[in-house]
Amino acid sequence: MTDDAITLNATDIMRLLPHRFPFLLIDKITACIPGKSLTAIKNVSINEPFFQGHFPGKPIFPGVLIIEAMAQAGGVLSHITAGDVEPKPLYYLVGVDNAKFRHPVYAGDQLEVVVEVERIVRGMWRYACTASVDGKKVVTARILCAPGRRI
């Protein structure tokens, strides 16, 4: 992390993303270098509603929500990089490639999501993403996000 890296709290994130409970899946941005990379934290709480059924007695954070957390982190990076433009675009997840789920994520874990810009073509952002718990990679994927209109 460099001295000029940007950090954001949950309130700052909600100014950039339309997501709200129970679907806001990043709690804090610990580092962001516009146009390059972003590191986000998701605190995986046992109080989240999906744990009632995924799975009773063994609360595992759904992999699809880890991918969504990666997309949300990418959306924040896209907004920060674009600056204060109006109207603000809404970035949609339009592609997931090479997703690998290496280890489960459990209630009580702190998920660290790192997204790195691979390329930007015609407003579409391609990110290399890694999610880790305690320094151990749990998910890797490449995601593609594209801007769309807010509804």
CATH number of the domain to which 25 belongs: 3.10.129.10
Residue 5 lies in a domain: no
Cβ-based burial of 139 (10 A; exposed 0-12, middle 13-18, buried ≥19): buried
- Which residues form the catalytic set? 54
- What is residue 64's three-state secondary structure? helix
Beta bridge partners of 28: 41
The mean pLDDT value of the chain amounts to: 92
Q: How confident is the model at residue 151 (pLDDT cuts 50, 70, 90)?
A: low
Q: Please check whether residue 26 is in contact with residue 13, taking contact to mean a CB–CB distance below 8 angstroms.
A: yes
Q: Is residue 29 part of a domain?
A: yes
Q: Is the pLDDT of residue 2 over 60?
A: no
Would you say 54 and 60 are in contact if contact means Cβ atoms under 8 Å apart?
yes
Residue 4: inside a domain, yes or no?
A: no
Q: Which of 3-7, 75-79, 106-110, 140-144 has the lowest mean pLDDT?
A: 3-7
Lowest-confidence pick of 3-12, 39-48, 52-61: 3-12
Identify the weakest region by mean pLDDT among 22-26, 35-39, 82-86, 138-142. 82-86
Residue 51, pLDDT > 50, answer yes
pLDDT at 1: 44
Task: Give residue 105's domain range.
Answer: 10-148
Report the domain count for the chain.
Answer: 1
66: in domain: yes
Give mean pLDDT, residues 68-91: 89
Residue 81 domain flag: yes
pLDDT attached to residue 83: 82
Residue 2 lies in a domain: no
Whether 35 maps to a domain, the answer reads yes
Burial class (CB in 10 A: 0-12, 13-18, 19+), 113: buried
| Residue 59, in any domain of the structure | yes
